[in-house]
Amino acid sequence: MSIAIMCSGGDSPGMNPAIKHFVDYVLSKNLEPYLIYDGLEGLIDDNIRLASYADVAGIMHQGGTKIRSSRSKRFFDIEFRKKAFENLKKRDIAKIIVLGGDGSFRAMNQFYSDFGVSFVGIPSTIDNDIFGTDYCLGVDTALNKIREAIDAIRDTSSSFRRACVVETMGRDCGYLALVSAITSGAEICLIPEVCFDLKSITKRLKNEVQNGRTYIVCVVSEGTKMTQKMVDILENEIGMETRATILGHVQRGGNPTVFDRLMAVEFVTKGVDKLLSGCEGLVIVYKNSKFEFVTIDYVNSDKYSISQDLLLVADRLYK
């Protein structure tokens, strides 16, 4: 029997540990592991290779993904999906582990409906915005990258009595910004999920500066589009020299943390076992500190929301 693994959509730290363990684990079961390079595009273009231990040696500590990833418009066309199926069929591959997000899972679900290729999806995105799971592969590394950046920026801000505005990724999900603001001791956090009161924030900060605050850390989620606005407020209304830092794709790279490596191994182990047991199209999620398998329909049935407990912890940061 042959089983393949692929990455689809944005890359995230933890993908390489998942790929390495996939090959090692499948070989230990005397099965054939295949690597699909370049995601859905590689599936269409037949960029599929039988893997050996040598192909994944020394990648456990590496960020990104050795087999690369892509987004594919061609996969929406049934003719290209048929071509992808033929590429799998000639290698007797009928089961795939997919590292990606909900869009990738929807694409694979359509592929399963068309041709019966079973898959298990592993939620892999630093945005941590997939409904039904508390954790997505790569988010822990991204949070640690942001922590390192904010700690460094705070050092220089405090030295010059400056304010700093740090913009995090996350699309329309403020998870990265919120957790980073809480754990870095920020004074302000703006995320799409809450209504923030700029007048109240300005009044609070003026009072804090009058009472001895000498620098300010503001964390802004990219989905709010408020980075420049906060720079203007801090400089013109608070009267503090301000620097903005947009972290960008640095958050998606770097050595995966121990937690992301361990979760990658657990995700893949359970995913491969589920495929071998004869499952159809499912996603493995991590909910309430437990692994569960859910359907694609469930993952797509609602929008991810940050826990109310976490929002309450940070309540003072956006008021």
pTM: 0.95
Q: What CATH number is given for 2-138+256-299 in this structure?
A: 3.40.50.450
DSSP 301: S
Residue-wise pLDDT tens digits, 196-248:
999 999 999 999 999 999 999 999 999 999 999 999 999 999 999 999 999 99
DSSP reduced 3-state for 99: strand
Angle, helices 78-89/102-115, rounded to nearest 10 degrees: 70
Q: What CATH number is given for 142-252 in this structure?
A: 3.40.50.460
pLDDT at 189 over 90: yes
Closest residue by Cα to residue 180 from 209, 210, 218: 218
CB atoms within 10 A of CB 133: 21
Residue-wise pLDDT tens digits, 97-120:
999 998 999 999 999 999 999 999
Sequence spans of domains, the chain: 2-138+256-299, 142-252
Q: Across the chain, what does the average pLDDT equal?
A: 96
Residue 168: half-sphere exposure toward Cβ, Cα within 13 Å: 33
pLDDT at 279 over 90: no
DSSP reduced 3-state for 91: coil
Active site residues: 127
